[in-house]
């Protein structure tokens, strides 16, 4: 009779993430690129506005610019119209006792302190009758009300969204200083793996993870080198690691990190660098390997090296089960890569939502359950939470982060991380 092996202590998800992130500092290397081409890139320096926005006092209505002190009759003052100010034209100072016809976005003339919208006026020959008594400042957008000259409008570490590009352009930035893209090499192991388009032999499966992981890396803005399936042989795996280490910031592999696995990734990384095999108390996705692969001596040639200051390239080995590799990528690899990319805010924002289901069995691990938001605003659970069931990841809108040893009762509020937070 054999005695069962004692289980190795498992790392909590938060602990594993903290260890990963403490190793990740932003890559060196920045470039200046046209603002029009900077979508999804990460700012390497603060963007400071060289001007006030708006650059002058502007009217936010079509109407008449007046001086409130000139309105002597409450809600009925007749004033001659002394000038007409379309947007894009410089006005004359407002003559005392007159009104200026003005349009949205046009410069408020010096001397005027309010705009009366045209719906509250009546034209009378060359005069206008003002049927309203405005407060000083009414319908005027003050110079610098949105942005003050010299203020930081986008801090370093911002990932550039379309609206961030618009904001940068609104203060006249034609170019932006960004970090270079993170370079990631990826390869897959497993003699059972077949590419779609090839016949599926008995016992074989399609290499679906290649498609998922490539997509995830590309969405993060990485420069990806995909080595495809590497033969499950020590020499081949070591050679791929050595080659990939030279020109990348991170080597990502998939498969063969389970305990007791007959696989060459683990000994190959140990031979070419260093490796820690983690058992994370999470479901799906328990195993994760984290380490580094040494870079060869430069021999005076640095062109290929992405970061010549670094003597090694990070290594992360993901589990092979499709949902496990997807979930571990989202929870660990994504924030790690964003940290390398110099992004400041890497944690996904979660929602507190009502569970519209019951899960009576508590798991001792931190579960990440595939769920979706129903029309009532609560969460439905995908019925099959197996780590091999990729269907759940397409059906779902995100992951419920269910703490260890916790059963879920219907009506309870749970922590839900939407895929929209995890997939960009
Ligand atoms: P492993 O982590 O290598 O033990 O693999 C666990 C499970 O995931 C096995 O059923 C593998 O066949 C499957 N698997 C491994 N790699 C892939 C992949 N690239 N695409 C789809 N399934 C995979
Ligand atoms: Mg395998």
| Cα-to-centroid distance, 260 and ligand 2 (Å) | 11
Domain boundary among 272, 306, 340: 340
Reported pTM: 0.88
Do 238 and 174 lie in a common domain?
A: no
Quote the pLDDT of residue 307. Answer: 57
Pocket of ligand 1 (CB under 6 A): 188, 190, 192-193, 205, 207-210, 254-258, 261, 319-322
**CB neighbours of residue 200 within 10 Å:** 11
In terms of domains, do 376 and 331 share one? no
Q: How far is the CA of 322 from the centre of ligand 1 (A)?
A: 7
pLDDT at 32 over 60: yes
> At residue 328, does pLDDT exceed 60?
yes
What pLDDT was estimated at residue 1? 41
Is 418 within the bounds of a domain? yes
- Both 220 and 335 in a single domain? yes
Residues 273 and 330 in one domain: yes
Q: Which atom of ligand 1 is nearest the CA belonging to 210? A: 19
Q: pLDDT band for position 259 (50/70/90)?
A: low
Q: How far is the CA of 323 from the centre of ligand 1 (A)?
A: 10
Q: Which domain holds residue 135?
A: 58-141
Residue of the CA atom closest to atom 23 of ligand 1: 320
Q: Which of 141, 164, 193 is the last residue of a domain?
A: 141
Specify if 4 maps to a domain.
no
Q: Quick check: 299 pLDDT over 60?
A: no
Q: Which of residues 340, 366, 396 is at a domain's end?
A: 340
Q: Give the mutation target among 211, 228, 255 for probing the ligand 1 site: most ligand atoms within 8 A of CB.
A: 255
Task: Output the domain CATH number for residue 270.
Answer: 3.40.980.10
CATH of the domain at 133: 2.170.190.11
Q: Does 300 score more than 80 pLDDT? A: no
In a domain, 245, yes or no: yes
Point out the ligand nearest to the CA of residue 192. 1
Closest listed residue to residue 264, CA positions, set 203, 187, 195, 332:
187
Domain count, the chain: 4
Report which secondary-structure segment, H or E, holds 372: strand 366-373
Distance 196 CA to ligand 1 centre (A): 15
121-146 pLDDT, tens per residue? Answer: 999 999 999 999 999 999 999 999 99
Q: Assess whether 401 and 336 both reside in one domain.
A: no
Query: Do 104 and 226 fall into the same domain?
Result: no
Residue given tokens 């399936």 in the structure block: 229
- Per residue in 66-96, pLDDT (tens digit) is 999 999 888 889 999 999 999 999 999 999 9
> Does residue 265 fall inside a structural domain?
yes
| DSSP letter, residue 249 | S
Pocket test for ligand 1, best of 195, 205, 279 (most atoms within 8 A of CB): 205
Which range is least confidently modeled, 113-117, 167-171, 204-208, 293-297? 293-297
Q: At residue 308, what are phi and psi to the nearest 5 degrees? A: -65, -15
- With H, G, I as helix, E, B as strand and everything else as coil, classify residue 168: helix
Q: What are phi and psi of 327, to 5 degrees?
A: -65, -40
- Closest listed residue to residue 248, CA positions, set 258, 256, 240: 240
Ligand 2: distance of its center to the CA of 233 in Å?
12
The verdict on residue 383 lying in a domain is: yes
How does residue 303 score in pLDDT terms, banded at 50, 70 and 90? Answer: very low
* 270 close to 264: Cβ distance less than 8 angstroms: no
Mean pLDDT for all residues in the chain? 93
Nearest CA to ligand 1 atom 4: 256
């Amino acid at each position: 009779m054999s005695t069962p092996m004692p289980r190795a202590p498992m790392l909590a998800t938060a602990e594993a993430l903290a260890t990963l992130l403490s190793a990740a500092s932003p890559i060196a290397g920045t470039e200046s690129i046209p603002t029009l081409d900077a979508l999804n890139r990460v700012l390497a320096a603060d963007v400071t506005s060289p001007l006030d926005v708006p650059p002058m006092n502007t009217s936010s209505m079509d109407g008449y610019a007046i001086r409130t002190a000139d309105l002597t009759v409450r809600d009925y003052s007749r004033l001659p119209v002394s000038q007409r100010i379309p947007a894009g034209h410089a006005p004359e100072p407002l003559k005392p006792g007159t009104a200026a016809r003005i349009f949205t976005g046009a410069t408020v003339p010096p001397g005027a302190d309010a705009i009366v919208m045209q719906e509250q006026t009546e034209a009378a020959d060359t005069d206008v009758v003002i049927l309203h008594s405005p407060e000083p400042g009414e319908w005027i957008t003050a110079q610098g009300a949105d942005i003050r000259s010299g203020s930081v409008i986008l801090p370093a570490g911002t990932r550039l969204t379309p609206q961030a590009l618009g904001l940068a352009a609104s203060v006249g930035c034609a170019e932006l200083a960004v970090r270079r893209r993170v370079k990631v090499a990826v390869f897959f192991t497993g003699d059972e793996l077949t590419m779609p388009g090839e016949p599926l032999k008995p016992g074989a499966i399609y290499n679906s993870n290649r498609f998922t992981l490539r997509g995830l890396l590309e969405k993060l803005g990485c420069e990806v080198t995909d080595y495809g399936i590497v033969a499950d042989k020590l020499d081949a795996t070591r050679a791929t690691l050595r080659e990939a280490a030279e020109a990348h910031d991170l080597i990502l592999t998939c498969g063969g990190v389970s305990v007791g696995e007959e696989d060459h990734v683990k000994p190959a990384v140990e031979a070419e660098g260093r490796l820690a095999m983690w058992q994370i108390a999470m479901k799906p996705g328990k195993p994760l390997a984290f380490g580094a692969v040494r870079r060869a001596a430069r021999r005076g040639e640095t062109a290929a090296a992405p970061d010549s200051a670094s003597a090694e390239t990070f290594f992360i080995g993901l589990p092979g089960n499709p949902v496990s590799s997807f979930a571990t990528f989202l929870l660990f690899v994504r924030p790690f890569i964003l940290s390398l990319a110099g992004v400041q805010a890497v944690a996904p924002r979660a929602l507190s939502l009502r569970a519209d289901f019951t899960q009576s069995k508590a798991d001792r691990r931190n579960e990440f359950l595939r769920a979706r938001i129903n029309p009532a605003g609560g969460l439905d659970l995908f019925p099959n939470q197996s780590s091999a069931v990729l269907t759940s990841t397409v059906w779902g809108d995100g992951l419920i982060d269910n703490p260890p040893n916790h059963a879920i009762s219907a009506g309870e509020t749970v922590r839900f991380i939407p895929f929209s937070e995890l997939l960009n």
